[in-house]
Structure formats: C-alpha cells, structure tokens
Structure 1
Amino acid sequence: MLEPLGIPADAEALYVVLASLDEATAQELTQRTGTPVAQVAAHLDTLADLGLAVALGEGLWNSLPLGDVVKGLELRRRAEIEAAVIAADTLQNQLLAASHSSEDDVQVFVGQTSWAEYTRLCDETTSEICLFDKPPYVGGPSMLSPDELREASGEWRALERGVSQRSVYHPGFDPERLEEMALFANMGEKSRTAPVPMKLVLFDAKIAWIPSMPSYMPGHERRASFVRHPLIVESLVWLFNAVWDTAIPITAGTYLNGDPRRQMLISLMMSGSTDDAIANQLGINVRSVRRWIAELMDELGVTTRLQLGAALVRADSMRTSG
C-alpha cells in the first residue's frame, strides 16, 4: 500500500513493525518478523534512504513519521508535474514547427475519419498503449459492461489481445466514469491519477494521437493529429513517462470490491493526500471524505489514521500472499 512512496513490499512490512516500537535492533526485528537479519539490514537501509527510519547508534533503529516524509514527496512531485507541463508547452512549439513536415509525419483527420483512424491504430497495436485521459469528453453515457466496451472501445479490444495499457487519469471522476475505470483495471490496465496537460494516446511508442481540445466543445467538429515524426513522438513518450512516474497509482485491495470511489480514496489517502485534495480529486465534499475514512476505521477496528494505514498494509499483504 506504500508503493506510491517507492517502498518495496518487504521493506514496507518492516516499517509497520518498526513503527509499532520505540526503537529496535536488526536482530530484534528479525525475531519479530522471521526475516533473515541480512535482509532486515538491507530493508532498514532502504527505509533510511527514503527518510522513513534513522539509525540511533549501537545498532538501534527508530521509525520517522510517515506524514512528514509524504509532505516532502508531495512538494517534489508537484515540482516534477510543473516541469512536465512546461515540457508540454515546449512540445506544442515542436508541433507547430513540424507543420511543414511530410504528409507521413503529421496527418490531420476531421470528424468520423478521425475516429476511424484511431480505432484502426488501437486494433493494430501490438505492444503498449499509453494514454492521458482528460475532460472534455464526447457526450453520451459511459459504457458499463464488457460487451459494450468490446463493441465500442479499441483500447478494450487491445487489452483482450494482451496489449499492455498505462493510463493517467486527470483528477475528478463521476461514479459512472469510475465504474468504467474499474472495468479496465480488472482487464489489466495500469492506471494512475495526476493533472495531465492534454489528451494524448501513444501507440507502441511510434504513433501519437493528439486531439484538438477546442474541438470537443459543443458545436465543433472533432479534429485530431496523428504524428509519426520520430523526434516528436520521442518527446511525447518522455512527457508521458515523466507524468506517469509522479502520478498516484490507483491501487486495488481487499476493501475495494464493488466501490471504485473507495479504491481511489484509499489510493489517495495512502499517498499522503490531504482530505481537501481527496475531495477535489473525487468531486465530493470534505465531509464525505471524512465519513468514508471513519467507516473504514470502523470496519478495521482502528482508532487513528496511522493505525488505519498499517491495517490496510497488513490486509493487502495477507491478500497478496494468500
């Protein structure tokens, strides 16, 4: 559950044990966890590198507050996202400069031909689809069944063929959108959430689909550019990976079944997001966020948020090891 902090599962489990003690030696932690002392020492070094543990001398170790560490990571992530947005502005200039490229490098499609070309690329992708998902959206209800998605979604058919898919969703989801996202996650999509600068889909890191954002406004005909210029696609792949690396994973766990919003709640909470930030991401008020967290605490029999985090870590570890 602490993977958004870059903590391996074994080191994460050790942190939970260490956090329950005032201080401990590697040998004491070995006795409590059954992990070989050499591995315990390696995990302690990992926690120290992340600022989650500190050596006190004479072989003693102590955990450091998770909240303080997360605040520092949050500031770093915001700076990285800002850098990615600047990169998007730079990319726009590159696209303008490429307007005189050959027809094969940049093609513009309008209306239904744009959607037909997009569907064709989805169906021909063999390795990976990378996607920035951001409003505005085409009108109409979300597709909430595998049959509907199989018929209408090229990305869904690609997942069924075994194509890898990574998606970064812009914050703010209505319940239907979350349910559709949950279906994609169950099919194997790797999903994260972060502010994204544009709509974008990358096919096998070779072709980029870049729709015109203003063309999604009412009364406008849909327009999109299909870019094959290697240098531009390379820049777009870099942009996607930069945002992906700093985005918050949308994780699954024992207490998420049947409720995609709870899945997002736990993901954001474990990443250190504030109640206000979680409310903004989910499009609800802060009171609802606090009520959901209180319900989770009641279900797990804990009284503090630190205990809740540890309980969720333990529950997820038991689920994955069972």
Structure 2
Amino acid sequence: MLEPLGIPADAEALYVVLASLDSASLDDLAHRTQTAPGAVGTHLDSLADLGLAVALGQGRWKALPLADVVKGLKARRMAEIEAAAIAADTLHNQLLAASHSTEDDVQVFVGQTSWAEYARLCEETTTEICLFDKPPYVGGPAAHSPDELREVSPEWRALERGVSQRSVYHPGFDPERLKEMAMFAQVGEKSRTAPVPMKLILFDAKIAWIPSMPSYMPGHERRASFVRHPLIVESLVWLFNAVWDTAIPITAGTYLNGDPRRQMLISLMMSGSTDDAIANQLGINVRSVRRWIAELMDELGVTTRLQLGAALVRADSMRTTA
C-alpha cells in the first residue's frame, strides 16, 4: 500500500512488524520476518531515510507514526513537483528564446506596407482580436455605414467573419468616433473604456501590432512594429487583460440608439461613474453631463437618479426581449 510513497513491499512488511513493537533489534526483526539480517538492515536504512523508523542506540529500532510521516512525505513531494514545474517552465522559455531569431520576432513596417501587413493579419485571425484604441488617429473621411466600414476596416470584416473582438477605448470621443463605436458594437464587438497606455492590437494572442504613436502626427509616415516573440506577446496579452478587467463596459444598443453619446452616458451612469468622471470620459464639461441626465429623466418621466437607473434597466430589458 505504501509503494506510491517509494516504500518497497519488503520494507513495508518490516515496518508493519516494527510498528507493533515498542522497539526491536535487527536480529529480532530478522527472526520475526524470516529475512536475512543484511536485508533487514537495508530495509531499516530505507525506512530511516523516509522518516518511518529511527535508531535508538544499542542496536534497537523504533517505528515512527505513519500519519505524520506521510504528511511530511506529501509536502516534500509537492515541493519537488513545484520545483520541477518551475524548472520545466524555465527550460521551455529558454528553448523558445533559442528557437526564435530576432529578425523573425520583431519586424518594422513603414507607410502603405504597414497598413497592408496589418490588413493581412486581420484577415488571417481566426479567434480573437484585442485592441487598445487611443488618439491620435489617421486623418480621412469617417465611415457612416456598415457598407463603408466593410470597405475600409479589416477589423469590421473580421467581426462579420465571426472573429471575436474586445476593444478598450481611451476616454474622450468625438461624435464621429462614437457613431463608429456604436456600429462595431452592433456587430458583436465587446467594448470598454479606460485610460490605455498605447495603441496595440493582438491577433489570436500570437502576434502584436504596435504602432509608433508619433508616426500618427501630421507630416509623419506611418510606422508599426509586428512582434511575434511568444514571451513578449504573452506580456502584452497580460497587459491587455489587466486593463480590460478594470475598464468600464460600454453598453451597446441601449435606450436612444440613435445618439451614441447618450449610449456612452448611460453606460457610464450604470457603472456608477460620477458626473466629473463622465465628463472626462466624454470630453465635455460637467454642466453638459447634468443637462443630458436631466433630459433623460424628463423623457422617462422620473424625478430621481435612482428611478432613472431603474427605468433604463427596464428599457434595456424590453429592447432585449423584443
């Protein structure tokens, strides 16, 4: 029964005999088990190594409580397994580092080549795109319809293809940006808002696209780095998830669908944000926030913010079940 602990059957039989006695000599144990004294000595040494027996002196031995010893052995085995797991992970990381060349792991693309490579990665993504969205943005006409987005946005095409997308938007949105966010939400994008440190897109948690922020300024040529090194991408995935977990969800398709600013206002209100926080997120002043809230209260026929929250939940439930 004790073989899983590394105790041979013969040593276990010797332990059973020794445990039934207060103490015993080697010769006595040899006689009781009908085993050669040399083999008994070997088994006693094995039991002593495992903490199951102890020499008392004058050639006598005593068994130690099995339950206490097993707990100690279990703790030691667990520590050994944990140490082995850490060593295996370290070795795995070393093998990964040795098997990837720097030239393959980090590439820099400039100008139209950057955009073409980015679009290719979107098309090849099969599971999920994760995105940090932060100004500045490339200039150009805004897309106002799904057809226009389908034409210009590889992320939109990926969503329509069934790829999951999670986006964290940096606070402060102009009306055009909010309308685009609302359209993305309607085709399945999960969106939240929080301060983000950089522009970043992750493709299937395997490749990271990191644009150069200064290259988005007027007069600069667009540049971006494509990172494939597993350890670097792993760290960026961890960063994204850490920001995502603390970001405020943006409720899509809630009351007053036609005004994306009100969608954002409602999302922030439902998350418990203060008027000041809402103003900062939307890039407007506090008086505008309070005016919008007052207008919502009038339209829904309520007089307190608590009633407003309940009315908005009711309106969203009716929309969902309709």
TM-score range, shorter chain: 0.5 to 0.7
Alpha-carbon separation, structure 1, partners of 2:319 and 2:135: 35
Give 5+ residue unaligned stretches, structure 2.
1-96
One-letter identity of the residue aligned with 1:153? S
One-letter amino acid of the counterpart of residue 268, structure 2: L
Question: Counterpart amino acid of 1:191?
Answer: S
Opposite residue 209 of structure 2, the aligned amino acid is: W
Structure-to-structure mapping, 1:172-191, within 5 angstroms: 172-191=172-191
The answer as to 2:286 corresponding to 1:278 is: no
Per the alignment, residue 131 of structure 1 pairs with: 131
Secondary structure of the corresponding residue to residue 316 of structure 1: helix
Q: Using the alignment, how far apart are the partners of 2:301 and 2:135 within structure 1? A: 39
Given that residues 182 and 253 in structure 2 are in contact (C-alpha distance below 8 angstroms), is that contact kept between their aligned partners in structure 1?
no
Matched, 1:165 2:165: yes
TM-score, normalising length: structure 1: 0.67
The secondary structure found in structure 1 opposite 2:132 is strand
- Give the aligned partner of residue 154 of structure 2: 154
Output the CA distance in 1 between the equivalents of 2:116 and 2:257. Answer: 35
Within 2, Cα distance between the matches of 1:177 and 1:261? 10
Superposition deviation, residue 273 in structure 1: 1.3
Residue of structure 2 in register with 1:5 after alignment: none
Over residues 157-180 of structure 1, what are the superposed CA-to-partner deviations in whole Å (9 max), with x where a residue is unaligned? 101111111111000010011111
- Mapping of 1:49-128 within 5 angstroms? 101-128=101-128
Residues 1:251 and 1:178: Cα distance change in structure 2 (over 3 Å): same
Q: Which has the higher contact order (CA 8 A, sep 6+)?
A: 1
Give the Å deviation of 1:278: 1.0
Which protein shows a greater Rg?
Answer: 2
Give distance in 1, aligned partners of 2:199 and 2:297.
37
Letter in 2 for 1:274: T
Show the counterpart of 1:23.
Answer: none
Equivalent pair of 2:186/2:252 in contact (CA under 8 Å): no
Relative to structure 1, is the Cα distance of residues 146 and 321 closer, same or farther in structure 2, using a 3 angstrom cutoff? closer
Q: Distance in 2 between matches of 1:185 and 1:205?
A: 21
Distance (whole Å) between structure 2 residues aligned to residue 264 and residue 250 of structure 1: 6
8 A Cα contact 2:172 2:280, kept in partner: yes
CA distance in 2, matches of 1:317, 1:222: 44
**Offset from partner CA, 1:256-305 (integer Å, 9 cap, x none):** 31110000000111111111221121122222111110111112211111
- Structure 1 counterpart SS, 2:109: strand
Return 5+ residue gaps in structure 1 as ranges: 1-96
Q: Which amino acid aligns with 1:305?
A: R
- 1:1-322 equivalent positions in 2, closer than 5 A: 101-322=101-322
Q: Classify the secondary structure of the residue corresponding to 1:318.
A: helix
Task: Give the residue type in structure 1 aligned to 2:142.
Answer: S
Shift of 1:306: 1.4
**Structure 2: how far apart are the matches of 1:129 and 1:170?**
17
Q: What amino acid is the match of 2:182? A: A
What is the alpha-carbon distance in structure 2 between the residues aligned to residue 164 and residue 317 of structure 1? 24
How many Å separate the matches in 2 of 1:245 and 1:309?
23
Letter in 1 for 2:309: G
Aligned residues: 225
Identity %: 93
Normalising by structure 2, report the TM-score: 0.67
Q: Tell me, what secondary structure is at the counterpart of 1:159?
A: helix
1:196 counterpart SS class:
coil
Whole-angstrom distance in 2 between the partners of 1:309 and 1:101? 55
Alignment RMSD, CA only? Answer: 1.8
Q: Distance in 1 between matches of 2:272 and 2:249?
A: 12
Cα deviations by residue, 1:193-229 (Å, 9 ceiling, x for unpaired): 1000000000011000001111112221111110000
Residue type of the partner of 1:318?
M
Distance 2:253 2:221 in 1: 41
Between 1:132-141 and 1:306-315, the stretch displaced more is 306-315
Give the superposition deviation at 1:249: 0.6
Whole-angstrom distance in 1 between the partners of 2:104 and 2:240: 23
Aligned partners of 1:148 and 1:314: how far apart in 2? Answer: 34
How far apart are 1:141 and its partner, in Å? 2.4
| Separation (CA, whole Å) in 1 of partners of 2:219 and 2:319 | 49
Structure-2 separation of matches of 1:287 and 1:215: 36
Tell me, in whole angstroms, the C-alpha distance in 1 between the residues paired with 2:165 and 2:181: 12
Q: Which amino acid aligns with 1:306?
A: L
Report if the CA contact (8 A) 2:211-2:223 is conserved. Answer: yes
How far, CA to CA, are the matches of 1:284 and 1:127 in structure 2?
36
